Amino acid sequence: MTITNTFKDLARDLEMFTPKKVIVASEPLPSSRQLERLAEQEGFAINNQPVVRKALKSGRVASKDKAQPMTLRIRIADWNKFSAFCERNEYTVAEGFERLATLAEAL
C-alpha cells in the first residue's frame, strides 16, 4: 500500500499565500487638512454630516407638569412619619415630598 500526497495539486498554488512586498511611498502623504481643501476645491464635502455631541445633564430637572414614577425603599417608621405629616397638613404625597425637598434645600 502506498501513501499518496492528496495535497500535491495544491502545492503549486501556494505562491498566492506568500507575503506581498511593502511599498514605500517616495512622497510624504498629504495631511487631512490638505485633503479637505482639495475635496472642497473639487466640489466634495467631507464633513457633510458633522458629529453632534450630546451634553450630559448634570442633574434631573423636575417638572411640575409630569410625575416621575419611582420606587423607593424606606423604613416603615419613616413612611409612617411622612404619612402623618401629609395628613396633618392636608398634603398629597407629591406635595409633601415637594415641601420636604424645599426644606432640605434650605439646610
Per-residue pLDDT in tens (0 to 9) along the chain, 107 residues: 566 666 666 656 666 677 778 777 777 777 878 888 888 888 887 665 666 766 666 566 655 667 778 788 889 999 999 999 999 988 988 889 889 889 888 88
Residues 6+ apart with CB under 8 A from 69: none
Q: Has residue 52 been placed in a domain?
A: no
Q: Has residue 45 been placed in a domain?
A: no
Q: Has residue 104 been placed in a domain?
A: yes
**Considering its fold, how many domains does the chain have in total?**
1
pLDDT of residue 76: 92
Containing structural domain, residue 81: 75-107
